[in-house]
Amino acid sequence: MALGRGLGDILSEVEEVYEKEDLSSIDGFSLEEQGVRIEELPVKDISPNPFQPRKHFDEEALHELSQSIQEHGLLQPIVVMEKENGYLLIAGERRLRAHTLAGISTIKAIIADIEIDEARLRELALIENIQRENLNAIELANSYAELIEVHQITHDELSAIVHKSRSQITNTLRLLALSSYAQNRVALGKISQGHAKILVGLNEKEQKIIIDSIIGQKLSVREAEKIVQTYKKNSASEKKETLKLTAKYQKILKKLLPFDHKLKAKSIEISFSNEKDIENFLTFLKKE
């Protein structure tokens, strides 16, 4: 399956029409030729895309959109496809939610005359949101990761598909290495992506301390970065000391412990291949 083609091409063609013309002047027949048509549909008959990657919707922004639609009408229709019991939303969840919020019972929709499977439906939901920049940084990172996993593509290939730089994609994906606490604060808009990016590499406890400081003291990215650098410098220093201690006692422990083992920062890991090894170890402990 070629990523970003099929219905995605139709959506692009329709958007080009919107950019050039007033919606009222769009020729329904020309849209039919592209495989789509515009109709006024009951809102209640439209089901949301189950693969919608966007989890957070700004309530204030939805209210503003709702008021705009009430005053000026819907300038860009949503896109749906027909299914057995109504229609399935392909693009325009914010517009659909705003209609519901406004209490408007019908909505102008482009009906795409095309068969689509679950994989393509997921792809369209992800790409539609990515290209419109509607996702927060964590949702965007998850979308990138899902597209890479589902389609087995590289960062460079994804860059060409979603029209984002490779470095932007790579930096955004790094956010998934953050703790759940950190990711949640990014998703809620409590800290910026710039703040989050500098936290990568810190442990969960350190991330929480710095995030709480950023929020509580309203620290800029530059101010937060200075704190992070201090943490990382201290951590590197501690690691260096640990390595010195490890080297110092490694030979002694090798003589004292006649078992396969690894000396870690604050522990010793002993490996057993079978039950006999465990029995020998217990005997060794009793001797001591």
Where residue 50 sits, what CATH number does that domain have? 3.90.1530.30
With respect to residue 147, please indicate whether it lies within any of the assigned structural domains.
no
Catalytic residue among 19, 33, 82, 93: 93
What is the 3-state secondary structure of 47-59? ECCCCCCCCCCCH
| pTM for the model | 0.51
Q: What is the rounded distance in angstroms from the CA atom of residue 41 to the CA atom of residue 96?
A: 11
Alpha helices in 34-179 (DSSP H): 59-72, 93-102, 118-132, 137-151, 155-162, 166-174
Single out the residue in 116, 135, 152 at which a domain terminates: 116
Q: Considering the domain boundaries, does residue 287 fall inside one?
A: yes
Return d(Cα 169, Cα 201) in angstroms, integer: 18
30 within a domain of the structure (yes/no): yes
- Among 80, 98, 116, the domain boundary falls at 116
Regions of the chain where pLDDT drops below 50: 1-8, 10-11, 13-29
Is 170 domain-assigned?
no
Closest to 153 in 3D by CA, of 169, 130, 140: 169
Domain count of the fold of the chain: 2
- Active-site residue flag, 93: yes
Gap between the Cα atoms of 259 and 243, Å rounded = 21
Q: Which two tokens stand for residue 35?
A: 């495989």
Give the separation between CA 263 and CA 243, rounded to whole angstroms: 10
Phi, psi (degrees; rounded to nearest 5) at 118: -60, -40
| Last residue in a domain, options 82, 100, 116 | 116
pLDDT of residue 9: 52
pLDDT in tens, 263-278: 665 667 787 888 888 8
- Confirm whether 21 is domain-assigned: yes
The phi, psi pair for 96, rounded to 5°, reads: -65, -45
- Structural domain of residue 262, as residue ranges? 257-288
The reply to whether 153 falls in a domain is no
**What is the pLDDT at residue 131?**
59
